[in-house]
Structures are given as structure tokens and as C-alpha cells.
Amino acid sequence: MMKNWRKKGGRSWRLVSGVGASAALAMAFSAFGATPPTFAAGQAPITIGVSASLTGDFSSSGIPLEQGYKLWENYVNSHGGILGRKVKIIFLNDNSSTSQVATNYEDLITRDKVDIVFGPYSSLLTVPALEIADRYGYAFEAPAGGGPAVFALKSPNFVFVQPTPVSDTMVSFAKWILSLPKSERPTTAAYATEDGPFSPAMLQTARNILQSHGIKTVYDKIYPTETTDFLPMVLGIEHSKAQIVLLGTHEPEAADYVRDFVQQHYNPKAIVFTGGPEDGTEFLDGIGGAKYANGIMVPGGWWYGEPSYQNKLFVSMYVKTYGGKPTDVPTTAAEAFSVGQVFQQAAEHVHSINNAKIIKALHTYTFNTVQGPMKFNAQGAANGEDFLMQWQHGKLEVVYPNSIKTAAPLFPKPNWP
């Protein structure tokens, strides 16, 4: 079984970094030549409030979110802070709860009186969090909450710091399928997704594109988010004989699906997950090893080898601080780091951390991030495009679009071992 970070617990609590974590961060940043900065005398720190899912259903992503924010905080402070002021992030645990996340942002703004807030993980938590930020006129950068329900709020304070809105995440896969010669192009597709705030929208967009080009839907299933047995869906997909399979998941559900497909010896020409396979060792451990990953696809807006702004530095810092290999760096950590990058550049553009000025800056300038350059429109969506990745012989490669691919796609997908 895969390692599971999900934990039990309820009330909101503050995080205090342990000696071990602090020492690791200090060692990581000293390795990059950072020297203790001198901050402007008499200047209070810039305080930033974050609600993170450190326990509960979203903790497997909430923990990397906190890690990405902490890496950015320590990097910025080791290089002089922002506008000559040190940055201090206050974390509250929301236990993956919609009511707790709203309470946390209310407390951060009214009780802790933070200068700025950054977003939590998931669209489900971003909606109530953004409503609080809007009430108090705070800018709101979301690292991982760009589902349709969030954009439906039409908040002028909001930007989604990923290359595309969540609903467009699977467009890269659909475009790749349609780029195949007609003689090789699949003609049938199966879809299955949890009934969450974003996965159904991802698959719907891809399904619309594929169906409009003659690829027939032969299986389509939305199941409750609390589902733990995926064999009924796997058997339904197998019975449909679909040539390609699109699944709305995150880790660890993606690993559960793979184990069931292997057990049933069902091998479609292509299989793509909305999330999970990008989690490196965590995903590989969950499916029983790299040999079972060969040919599995996942869309992405960030890749550890991407030649984007500060990406090599970010990956090196993450590995030095938290261990593992570059392939193990969680996408969510990169998304959180990007939020900090955007805020710093916005503050430096307007020489202020005033929320009204930051909001205007977010919708005016182009920002460089580890996920690539971003310019946000009036709705808060960036102007980028996701790409398609595939596990090949123990390594995650970019296979589409051709302009940035690191390897040719394996198609049809190799058979399970």
C-alpha cells in the first residue's frame, strides 16, 4: 500500500516549525549562497495568512502546499525580503473543512490582522475562503483552486496562479489524440470521475472536444467522492472495450485504479488521469513500482525539468530541504511557490503591499513563475496552456505539444507487465 499523509484531527491550530525543519531550511538556503539580509530598521514584517489542509482528506496536497509557501518565504527572506521588509507567513490548519477554512481566513484578517492572504488547496475550500477575502477587500491568489465554482464568483480580487483554469486541464490530451493520423486515432472513449468540484469539468471539456471529432463515448460514470472501491468502474470500462480511458482522480485514487486495471489485464491504447501520476515516487510506490507506470499519462502545468524562471533553483531547494529526487517534487509545492513569486513581483511593481494596489497590479502585469510566465485576465485566469506528460521507463516525460516535448509518446500504451 502507498504511504498516506491523511490524518485525523479537528480544530484549527498554528504551526510552529520544529528545530529539525528550521535547520534543514537554513542548510538549504546557505547552500545557495544566501547571506543573512539586513532589513529596514523599525519595519514590521509583512504578514501573510494561509489556511492549509494539514489534516483531513486534502492533507496529501495540503502538506506540499505548506512546503512550497515555506520555501518561498525562506528564499525571499534570505534575499532581502520584499520592499526591505521581512516576510512572515502565519499558517492555520483547516482540516480540509469548508467551514473551518472560512473561520481561518476570518481570524487571519480580523484577529491576526495579516497584510495579505494566499489561497488554500482545492476549489472546494477556495470558494468560502475567497468569499471572506472579498468581504474585506483582500487580494486573493489561488495556487490550486481554479474550478468553475470559483470563477463563477466573478471576484475582481482573484487570480488563479496556474497556466490555465482547471476546466481546461485535459485539453492537452484531447489535442494530442486529435493530432494522431486518422488511421491510428482511437474511435471510442470511456470516462469516470469522482463527483468533486473540478474533475467532472475537466473531463467534460475533453469529452466535448473528442465527441465533436467523432470519438464515441462508450462509458461515462460520475461516482461519490467518498468512493473507495473502484473495481465496479474498472469492470464497466473493461466491458465497454473503450480504446482510450480518461479518469478524474487525484492521489491515491489513481493508484487504486492502476492496480485494478492490472488485476483485470485490461490495457487500453491510452490512459490519462487528471491527477495522481505526477506525484513521482508517491504514485510509483502506490502502484507497485515503475514497471506498472509505463505509458500512463497526466496533464500538467508544471514539470521539474521545465526551463522556467527560478525552476531549477526551486527544485534544488525542495530536494535539499525535504529530501527525495527532482521527480518527487510535488506540483502543489510549485504552485504555492508561484503564488509567492507573483505577489513579490506585484508588490515591487507598485512599491506597496496595499491590497487595492496589489489587486490592480495582478490584472495589469505579466509575472514570471516556476510554471512559466502568466498574465491574468479580468476573470483571474492566466493565458497559458497545459502540456501532456507520460511515464516512460521510470521517468516522467513531456510528450505534447511538440514544441516542448522531451520524448515521443508511447502509443499504444505498452501492455501491463
Dump pLDDT digits (tens) for 105-142.
Answer: 999 999 999 999 999 999 999 999 999 999 999 999 99
The β-bridge partners of 219 are: 190
Distance CA 38, CA 355 (A): 25
| Shared domain check, 78 and 36 | yes
- List alpha helices for 31-183, DSSP H: 59-78, 98-110, 123-135, 148-151, 171-179
- Look at residue 11 and tell me if it is in a domain: no
406 lies in a domain? Answer: no
How far is it, in rounded angstroms, from Cα 68 to Cα 54?
A: 13
DSSP letter string, 244-312: EEEEE--TTHHHHHHHHHHHHT---SEEEESSSGGGTHHHHHHHTSGGGTTT-EEEES--TT---TTHH
| Domain membership flag for residue 1 | no
Helix (H, G, I), strand (E, B) or coil at 176: helix
Position 14 in a domain: no
Q: Is 398 helix (H, G, I), strand (E, B) or coil?
A: strand
**pLDDT given at position 20:** 46
Q: How far apart are CA 261 and CA 413, in angstroms?
A: 13
Give yes or no: residues 283 and 355 share one domain.
Answer: no
Angle between helices 171-179 and 199-212 (to 10 degrees): 20
- The pLDDT value given to residue 336: 98
- The answer on 286 and 179 residing in a single domain is yes
**Are 174 and 158 part of one and the same domain?**
no
Residue with cell 486529435: 178
Q: Has residue 270 been placed in a domain?
A: yes
In a domain, 343, yes or no: yes
Let me know if residue 405 belongs to a domain.
no
Residues counted in the chain: 417
Q: Is residue 153 domain-resident? A: yes
CB atoms under 10 Å from CB of 111, counted, come to 9
Structural domains in the chain (count)? 2
- 38 and 83 housed in the same domain: yes
Residue in the structure block whose three cell numbers are 508588490: 347
Tell whether 245 and 391 lie within a shared domain.
Answer: yes
* Residues of the chain predicted below pLDDT 70: 1-38, 40
Same domain flag for 261 and 394: yes
120: domain CATH number?
3.40.50.2300
Same domain, 280 and 321: no
**Which pLDDT value is given to residue 25?**
56
Query: Are 396 and 265 contained in the same domain?
Result: yes
The residue range of the domain holding 273 is 168-301+386-400
Dihedral in degrees, nearest 10, Cα atoms 200, 201, 202, 206: 100
| Res 7: pLDDT | 29
In the block, cell 467551514 appears at: 99
**Shared-domain flag, residues 38 and 116:** yes
pLDDT digits (tens, 9 = 90+) for 22-40: 455 555 555 455 555 667 6
Tell me how far apart the alpha carbons of residues 356 and 24 are, in angstroms, rounded to a whole number.
Answer: 36
Same domain, 296 and 330: no
Question: For residue 1, what are the CA distances in angstroms to 6, 224, 361, 417?
Answer: 14, 22, 46, 19
Residues 49 and 155 in one domain: yes
